[in-house]
């Protein structure tokens, strides 16, 4: 695996520490974490949606938290009490707890989350502050004032 050393760039840049940390983390493996499966969709110019397959989890067993550009989704199953008369012959439905983290870009905020038909939908929106949006600057030409020559009264 190839590793890129960003330390020479730290000397000549200011304020890009988070960017270099994110680039470093891209090279690291995600520890083979594949549960639960998810999709990331763009639903508009500044709108996104993360959909996670969380079949078997109820609303009170899932927590969604956004803190400092990191979205964390946790699922903790409550132990189901089975009847003493039943025996599970094959367990194919995952009943394990999970934790998924997503790095959010600057100014991306969580708008809300819904759980429907075993899918958790998290709506995200990018709110760029007015002072950071591009603005049109009007170009004006200076008006030339007519010069008045002073004259002495006779």
Over 90: is that where the pLDDT of 91 sits? no
For the chain, give the percent of residues with pLDDT over 90. 29
Which class for 54: exposed (0-12), middle (13-18), buried (19 or more C-beta within 10 A)? buried
Which secondary-structure segment (H or E) carries 132? none
Which class for 21: exposed (0-12), middle (13-18), buried (19 or more C-beta within 10 A)? exposed
* Mean pLDDT to the nearest integer, 63-72: 91
Spatial neighbors of 82 by CB under 8 A, at least 6 apart, are 88
Higher-pLDDT residue of 120 and 130 is 120
Whether the full predicted model's pTM is greater than 0.75, yes or no, is no
134: its two tokens: 């591009």
Over 60: is that where the pLDDT of 2 sits? no
Per-residue pLDDT reduced to its tens digit, 38-48? 999 999 888 99
* Mean pLDDT to the nearest integer, 98-115: 91
Q: Give the domain ranges of the chain.
A: 33-80+90-128
Distances (CA, A) of 3 to 7, 23, 80: 12, 10, 45
Over 70: is that where the pLDDT of 15 sits? no
Q: Which fold has domain 33-80+90-128?
A: Immunoglobulin-like (2.60.40)
pLDDT tier at 49, thresholds 50, 70, 90? very high
């Amino acid at each position: 695996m190839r590793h890129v050393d960003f330390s020479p760039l730290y000397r000549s840049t200011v304020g890009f520490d988070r960017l270099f940390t994110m680039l470093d983390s891209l090279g690291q493996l995600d520890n083979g974490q594949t549960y639960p499966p998810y999709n990331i969709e763009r639903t508009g110019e500044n709108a996104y949606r993360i959909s996670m397959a969380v079949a078997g989890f109820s609303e009170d067993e899932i927590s969604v938290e956004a803190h400092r550009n990191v979205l964390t989704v946790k699922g903790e199953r409550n132990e189901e009490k089975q009847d003493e008369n039943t025996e599970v012959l094959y367990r194919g439905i995952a009943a394990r707890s999970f934790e998924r983290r997503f790095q959010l870009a600057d100014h991306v905020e969580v708008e809300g989350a819904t759980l429907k038909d075993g899918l958790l939908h998290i709506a995200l929106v990018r709110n760029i502050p007015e002072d950071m949006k591009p603005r049109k600057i009007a170009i004006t030409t200076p008006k030339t004032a007519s010069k008045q020559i002073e004259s002495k009264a006779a």
